[in-house]
Amino acid sequence: MRLIKPTAVVIALLSGLLMSTLAQAHPKLLSSSPAEGATGAPPDKIELHFSENLVTQFSGAKLLMTEMAGMAHDPMPIKAKVSGSSDPKSMLITPAAPLTAGTYKVEWRAVSSDTHPITGNVTFKVK
| Residue 53, number of CB atoms within 10 A of its CB | 14
Examine residue 117 and state whether it is found in any structural domain, yes or no: yes
Q: What is the pLDDT of residues 70-116, one digit of tens each?
A: 787 899 999 999 999 999 999 999 999 999 999 999 999 999 998 99
Residue of 29, 67, 66, 65 whose CA lies nearest to 47: 29
DSSP letter (8 states) at residue 70: T
9, pLDDT greater than 70: no
Based on the structure, what is the number of domains in the chain? 1
Examine residue 1 and state whether it is found in any structural domain, yes or no: no
CATH code for the domain in which residue 58 is found? 2.60.40.1220
Examine residue 82 and state whether it is found in any structural domain, yes or no: yes
Examine residue 8 and state whether it is found in any structural domain, yes or no: no
121 by Cβ neighbours in 10 Å (0-12 / 13-18 / 19+) ranks as: middle
Examine residue 2 and state whether it is found in any structural domain, yes or no: no
59, pLDDT greater than 60: yes
Q: What is the pLDDT of residue 1?
A: 54
Examine residue 118 and state whether it is found in any structural domain, yes or no: yes
Cα–Cα separations (whole angstroms), residue 116 to 50, 63, 87: 14, 22, 20
Examine residue 6 and state whether it is found in any structural domain, yes or no: no
Residue of 53, 42, 52 whose CA lies nearest to 93: 42
Domain extent at residue 44: 26-126
Examine residue 64 and state whether it is found in any structural domain, yes or no: yes
